[in-house]
Chains A and B, each alone.
Chain A
Amino acid sequence: MCAAFSHIYLESRAEDYPETKRLLEKFSDSTVVSIRHYKDVFNRPAQDSRLQNGSKSLILAVNDGKKIFDASPVCQDFGMGKFYYAESAMNCVFSCDYCFLKGMYGTSNVVIFVNQEDYLKECEEKLKEGPVYLCASFDTDLGALSKVSGWMNVWEGFASTHPDLALELRTKSVVDSFRNDPNIIYAFTLSPDEVIDQFEKMTPSLDARIACVNQAIAKGAQVRLCFDPLIYIKNFELCYNRFVDKILQSIDLTRVRDISIGTFRISSDYLPNLRKACPDSSAVLFPFDREDGFCVYPADVRSRLIGIIKNELEKAGYGNKLYIIP
């Protein structure tokens, strides 16, 4: 999938970067609007993100602030040491109802930061302090953006020359090339088709994602499967049971590095925006429990959802690969 953008908002200071030139050439039909700072467009108050979804704009900017951040405590660190995420881009070309980005940003427009070298320098500084585990596809889906931006290749290239960096590239997209470096982890979010159809708009089907996972495995890449977020839907037991059966039949899990499992959870601060963005979606209208500033399913629902996947994978002998966010 290659997103089209009706408008490209271009920071004057971003004009001369090679990534900018490449993107402007690629989207030569888009209307280009010159801007002073990306926040003037991205952070406008009261944007209608639902309406923007049908006509996303791209914002090309230079990030002169912090580029690499400490990861959130609700994210799985897989026991891999100092855990950071890089804000290479903000927002996603996909439009999942439950995505925290919808809650965090009041817009559907996508920012791509073009000063890639500055990010790599900041990462090198972090590496001087010891091994780093970096999620480069956190505030976006870099796999989905890879048809647009060169960011995924940039991070892959950097990781291949920095073995102390464990790089995670998480995606719902169908990526078409993989590296087999031991420190580059391709993390695929897999969901049942019922969830994809209802809540993961514009994303590839489960079959397409499975095919992509198998392609990565065949190339010898490090593969992580993420059954996260598990979503409460009608008949979820039947649905997730069928789903995990399909995964077990379609993917050779002995060749998968690890598997994460987690139920939907979101900061309480983000839920109002999420409900505004998707006012009819049961994924966000669920009457959540509030725990430590997060909206979560009731404990018994969490336990049942996780149990479906966990029990089946344990029965099949993959218990040692599981990382579970309770």
Chain B
Amino acid sequence: MIHVFSAIECEAAPLRHLVSDDLEIIITGIGKINAAFAVGRTFPNGLSRNDLKNDVVINIGTCGSDDLHGLFLVNKITDDAAGKDYYPDILRVTGLPEASLITVDRVKTDPEPGCLYDMEASAIYHAGSKLISPDRMIFLKMVSDNGDVAGVTEASVNALVESYVPKIKELITMIRDGISPLSVKSNEDLYDLLKASASMKVQIDELMRFAESMGVDGRKLFDEAGASEVTSRAGGKEVTARVRSVLTHLS
């Protein structure tokens, strides 16, 4: 699932047509507390990294800068108040220019040159990083102003985001292509046949994975070792030991 976080609706409106079964847009509201709350609400308690190993967080929004213009992929986020840095992993060749971003609590009216300024990114990274790996947190920022926000309107933000939709779509396609869920084969039937305990299940999985990596039909080995004739857990252990012995003596 791709989770797109934007602070306000006018940043997200031009992207609404991208919403699908595997992409949602979440409006966080402005500022770090709202942003962290939105991420927390999206990934509720009880989920693990493993549950979310195919999920991607994208923060798309506008930002300020003294001298930079355009759409940027952020390679460093500094939380201005906490003095803490975060580094999303940039592992895809996107062709987008990169920049570092400072997340501030109030609009920065006197931005330093060479930097982007926003009000949510550090919180989204911090909250997201509890469950999402750094290569699957992507921050896209479009420069809307130079610290003077008087001229920034819903319409101007909307038009700015709209102008980058093709680039954003390209990136999302790239991300979708990169999501390849690992297929985990179930050995449930073997567990049943071998009357496996929890530790035996681990051993069976290990042997089946090793067999596959060696180009050997693990299931056939279990069958040949007498899996279907097992009547007790002890018998299941013996079969597992026989398979292990075969697999560790293939030379």
Contacts and interface: CB of A to CB of B under 8 A. Distances in A.
Interface stretch (A79-87, A185-193, A229-237, A242-250): A229-237
B75 interface: yes
Interface string A1-37: 0000011010000000000000000000001011110
Contacts of B132: 46
Interface string A43-65: 01111100110110000000000
Contact of A41 (B87, B92, B214, B251): B87
Given A47-B135, A285-B210, A298 B182 contact: no
B147 to A, nearest CB: 22
A189 B207 CA distance: 29
B133 A48 contact: yes
Interface residues of B, number: 34
Contacts of A287: 203, 206-207, 210, 244, 247-248
B133 A285 contact: no
A51 B98 contact: no
B213 interface: yes
Nearest to B75: A33
A297 B248 contact: yes
A223 B136 CA distance: 45
A39 to B, nearest CB: 11
A35 B87 contact: yes
Contacts of B16: none
A44 B134 contact: yes
Interface in A137-184: none
B249 interface: yes
A31 B76 CA distance: 12
Nearest to A37: B85
A36 B210 CA distance: 42
Contact of B76 (A6, A34, A237): A34
B89 A282 contact: no
Given A236-B251, A237-B251, A44 B210 contact: no
Contact of B85 (A36, A46, A238): A36
Contacts of B98: 31
A46 B209 contact: no
A286 interface: yes
Nearest to B178: A51
A319 interface: no
A46 B213 contact: no
B129 interface: yes
B160 to A, nearest CB: 24
Interface string A85-118: 0000000000000000000000000000000000
A278 to B, nearest CB: 9
B220 interface: no
B91 interface: yes
Contacts of A34: 76, 100
B89 A48 contact: yes
A35 B215 CA distance: 45
A71 B85 CA distance: 34
Interface string A287-326: 1000000000110110010000000000000000000000
Interface of A: 6-7, 9, 31, 33-36, 40-41, 44-48, 51-52, 54-55, 232-238, 279-282, 285-287, 297-298, 300-301, 304
User: What are the 9 closest A-B residue pairs judged by CB atoms, nearest first?
Assistant: A282-B213, A285-B210, A46-B133, A236-B251, A55-B91, A285-B213, A237-B251, A282-B214, A48-B135
